[in-house]
Amino acid sequence: MADLRSNFVGIKSPNPFWLASAPPTDKEYNVRRAFEAGWGGVVWKTLGEDPPVVNVSSRYGSLNYNGTRMIGLNNIELISDRPLATNIAEIKDVKRDYPDRAVVVSLMVPCEEESWKAILPIVEDTGADGIELNFGCPHGMSERNMGAAVGQVPEYVEMVTRWCKQNTRMPVIVKLTPNITNILMPAHAALRGGADAVSLINTIQSVIGVDLDRMVPMPVVGGKGTHGGYCGPAVKPIALRMIGDIARDPELCGIPISGIGGISTWRDAAEFLAMGSSTLQVCTAAMHYGFRIVDDMIDGLSAWMDEKGYATLEDVTGRAIPNFVPWNKLNLKFRTIANIDQEACVRCGLCYIACEDTSHQSISKSLVGNERRYEIIEEECVGCNLCAHVCPVDDCITMQPQPVDGELTWPEHPNNPNRVVAAVS
């Protein structure tokens, strides 16, 4: 049985599944239910200074695709809209009752040292295990020079992180915004400021859709809409890339990463671990189905680790990073060719039309008796994988790697005007 216990910069939890700072961790009631359901930890919804913010009514917008609800979710909710004292009292109670779980508190106060100095001891007094700096909120708070407004300026990230490190003994996790061009810039800044860890990604600035009858971006608040923060399964690829960028960066010295971004299943979790995460934060999937989803996440991850022979989380964390390389390091001599399993083929023609219209015309169509037959024209196939992706039947179209004769990357390629000339021996 795989050991799923996690020790993340000294913050211990029985499993790596934490609920991200968001509506599911807004108050004691929810958090107790989450812990009863088996979650390893929570990042309490962001606390700010009193008086509390005011949230709008009509807060979420959903992206549905082909019958699947909420493949993406956007929200225009702000940080906790409850008095600081209420949150603090509840955090204290919960931590007391669940000493084995991770309770991290997300914070966002104005970009002034006094504000941070004031709130840190109050939080520390709850017995919380750590703090997460919300430098990511992309709406509402950023317009008040907080959240993403800080996260987008590396100097501010560094500065606030340093204030926190200087004023608390709690571990400091810096939550990064993806609304930047290069995630390494704020990550480096966090490290310079003394961050113990980073967590990412926060939500992505988005307009989820437009109400075409009222001509208003959604969600609609009294006839108007605003941009929100995008999350859910659809953002997973963006998160994996940014996490991988940080995990493989030599200057970041393996800074611990708490992965966030559309994690919905144990398989997603395993991928986030493989790309360098040590803990996993979940929100949208819980908002979609309730806290019970953690059962299968724990169970599935554990079973998969057993099957692969990984004993602990550390065995998985960053496992794919050595193979996550810049494009220039890919072997241009590698070739893969599609193969259609004629027994499994249902003759829908989707591979054919995709290849014919939008790829390399490397699938032929013929009639054998009354039966359609689609075949790969191997000489034409560039191995793009498109046919395999559009095929509705699992394992019907498979990509067959061909024998490789040596290695040739772009820096050495004859077509590269700036190629590195091989040294003459």
Partner 1 sequence: MTRTPDIASSRLSDAELVVNFSDAHPPLTKEQAVVEAERCFFCYDAPCTEACPTGIDIPKFIRAIATGNMKGSARTILESNILGGSCARVCPTEILCEEKCVHNAREEGHPIRIGALQRHATDWQMDHGGQPFTRAPETGRRIAIVGAGPAGLACAHRLAMHGHDVMLIDAHAQPGGLNEYGVAAYKLADDFAQREVDFLMKIGGISFEGNRKLGQDFSLTELRRDYDAVFLSMGLAGVRAMGIEGEALDGVQDAVTFIEALRSRDKKAVPVGRQVVVIGGGNTAVDAAVQARRLGADDVTLVYRRGHEQMSATSSEREWAQTNGVTVRLWSSPSRMVTEDGVLAGVEFSRGKATADGRATYDPKDTFIVPADMVLKAVGQLFVTDPISGESILVENGRIVVDRSYRTTMEGVYAGGDCTVGEDLTVAAVRDGRDAAEAMHLALSTPDQSETSGQ
Nearest approach in angstroms of CB 371 to partner 1 is 10
Name the minimum Å distance from CB 62 to partner 1: 16
Binding partner 1 (rule: CB under 8 A), the pick from 66, 181, 366, 425 is 66
Omega of the bond leading into 201 within 30 degrees of 0 (cis): yes
Residues 387-406 contacting partner 1, CB under 8 A: 392-393
Q: Which of 137, 164, 283, 355 is catalytic?
A: 137
Cβ at position 287, least distance to partner 1 in Å: 22
CA distance 411 to 397: 33
Pick out residues in 326-385 that bind partner 1 (CB under 8 A). Answer: 346-350, 352-353, 365, 372
210 sits near partner 1 (criterion: CB under 8 A)? no
Tell the smallest beta-carbon distance from residue 348 to partner 1 (Å).
Answer: 4
Residue given tokens 């960028």 in the structure block: 245
Q: Distance between CA 197 and CA 174 in Å, rounded?
A: 6
> Do 137 and 46 meet the contact criterion of CB atoms below 8 Å apart?
yes
349 versus 383: smaller Cβ distance to partner 1: 349
d(CA 143, CA 149) in angstroms, rounded, equals: 7
What's the min distance (Å) between Cβ of 353 and partner 1?
4
Residues binding partner 1: number (CB under 8 A): 13
Burial of 223 (0-12, 13-18, 19+ CB in 10 A): exposed
* Inter-residue contact 381 to 337 (CB < 8 Å): yes
Q: Is 137 among the catalytic positions?
A: yes
> From start to end of 179-311, where are the E strands?
197-200, 204-206, 210-211, 216-217, 228-231, 257-260, 279-282
By C-beta, is 122 or 350 nearer to partner 1?
A: 350
Specify whether the CB–CB gap between 172 and 129 falls below 8 A: no
Based on CB atoms, which residue is closest to partner 1, 69 or 308? 69
| Binding interface with partner 1 (CB under 8 A) | 66-67, 346-350, 352-353, 365, 372, 392-393
